[in-house]
A and B are shown apart, each in its own frame.
Chain A
């Protein structure tokens, strides 16, 4: 099966700034693919390279097997949901959604009927006559989605689409996006800096830093088996400790140990408590084991030691992951 999007040695340099640097990537047809990374890591530039707003300075981009370099955005069968939705302020919702068909020369009646259908898909039937300014953030988000879907793209690009929504709405939209993606069988490429969002929604995640991909894998892979200190730290703030301490290797290697895998254990090793932070469901403990600082998450129902006390902790060495690279 042809991949939806492939990057081969793709770079996008702005002068001396290497926004995207020799990236290789294959996004499979029909998958929900997340690009995760801090701001300035190159994930948004990668998305813009797929959309056609940016052209690579080197390398090769294919969309369903066709060369995409030099092809302008309006000739690509790819549509984008923008960060702040970018709804046209001078049009009502229906005309916004129908815009893609209008520029293709589809007649008024037909494109309005299609726009109504697209609005139904995002559960906004009957909102066509309103102006974008009259809608709530969540509704604008849905309009932007309906507008992106009307051209029946094979790849939908989403640029931090949930960033402006409050937590509750965000969780609801995450679920709906996922459902919609499965129902339509489309390839979704989703850019986010929120690791929870990436892990919970995506089939596969690419972690970006410094214009390069640090690791590509399933959510579980990324979380359980981070390839580098950066991935371990950025995704779920892992403890990065000498491998011999974690019990998985020799002293000049490094291992990642998830905070929730550290448990209070009367038979474990001694640790000094240097901080406690109550988070509701869990309590975060800052620990010190022979000069090595560690973070542990303890379920809230357990009694936690006070600052300055010495406690005993342990972990299953099978839960620790020996990393390939330190950086």
Chain B
């Protein structure tokens, strides 16, 4: 039901107040990135400067952490895209013993608190004598990245009529051609959306990373360590600002991609 009357004044204030409560702390991060005070967060900032951007760009530890975070996010997302899509295809397309169980088990990592995932992975790695490395971080992140891709892909698979695959085969397309020419174009936007969300989640993950990393420092871990050191604090804020921009953009894009295609592909009557 839509009413054409304007919202009451009280409601407007409440909405604006709510938004300020949510967004003001983020705005503060942006402000402190330009403050001249480097040891403590002092309000109002005694002066404004852009020198911290330059300082940040010159710090090798920032670049190393950023490179590691990007690498981990890229590899876990790729892994998740392949495994998540395959699992989704199996669960949505066929019936087999234990299908519902698999569907539940795949989703479990995102329902479990990250700390449980982290602890269990850590003990599993120790038990198997796997040394902590970039790859153990990747495995940790892949557990929840797969869920994101799986959820997106399984919904799209269910909306894509199985008759399309039959039609492609019937017209002479073998398995590979059917996948490339019919299945992939129909699930591509779902995979892109899932992939971007997974990337963003992996990029700012702290808890699982803490448990699965050795002496590797991803960007969020680096920021956590940096906050306890009262030196060049605004550098952390500059990095935080960059992270906000890098993660918000893909999430917005994912939102716009999945918003379209509401109709069920291929089953129109």
Contact surface of A with B, Cβ cutoff 8 Å = 51-53, 72-74, 78-80, 82-90, 99-100, 102-104, 132-133, 137, 140, 147-148, 151, 164
Contact = CB atoms under 8 A, between A and B. Distances in A.
A86 B164 contact: yes
9 nearest CB pairs, A to B = A86-B163, A100-B171, A86-B167, A73-B169, A103-B173, A89-B265, A90-B185, A80-B170, A74-B172
A99 B168 contact: yes
B163 A103 contact: no
A84 B181 contact: no
B171 A84 contact: no
Contact of B268 (A104, A132, A151): A132
Contacts of B167: 80, 82, 86-88, 147
Contacts of A80: 166-167, 170
B166 A74 contact: no
25 contacts: A51-B170, A52-B169, A53-B166, A73-B170, A74-B170, A74-B171, A74-B174, A78-B170, A80-B167, A80-B170, A84-B267, A85-B268, A86-B167, A88-B167, A88-B182, A89-B164, A89-B186, A90-B186, A100-B171, A103-B174, A103-B177, A133-B263, A133-B268, A137-B269, A151-B171
Contacts of B173: 74, 99, 103
B47 to A, nearest CB: 56
Size bracket of the B interface:
20 to 34
Contacts of B172: 74, 100, 103-104, 151
B151 interface: no
Given A85-B268, A99-B168, A103-B168, 7 more contacts: A74-B174, A84-B161, A84-B267, A86-B266, A133-B263, A147-B167, A147-B171
A88 B164 contact: yes
Contact of B166 (A73, A99, A147): A73
Contacts of B185: 90
Given A83-B163, A86-B163, A53 B169 contact: yes
A82 B163 contact: yes
Interface of B: 161, 163-164, 166-174, 177, 181-182, 185-186, 263, 265-269
A251 B166 CA distance: 52
Nearest to B160: A89
Nearest to A72: B169
B163 A99 contact: no
Given A53-B166, A80-B166, A99 B171 contact: yes
A103 B181 contact: yes
Contacts of A89: 164, 186, 265-266, 268
B268 A84 contact: yes
Contacts of A52: 169-170
A82 B171 contact: no
A82 B163 CA distance: 8
Query: Which of A79, A87, A88, A140 has the most chain B CB within a 10 Å cutoff?
Result: A88
A201 to B, nearest CB: 22
Nearest to A132: B268
Query: Which of A52, A72, A80, A103 has the most chain B CB within a 10 Å cutoff?
Result: A103
Query: Which of B167, B174, B265 has the most chain A CB within a 10 Å cutoff?
Result: B167
Contacts of B163: 82-84, 86
A104 B174 CA distance: 10
Contacts of A53: 166, 169-170
Contacts of A85: 268
A103 B166 contact: no
A144 to B, nearest CB: 8
Query: Which of B168, B171, B266, B267 has the most chain A CB within a 10 Å cutoff?
Result: B171
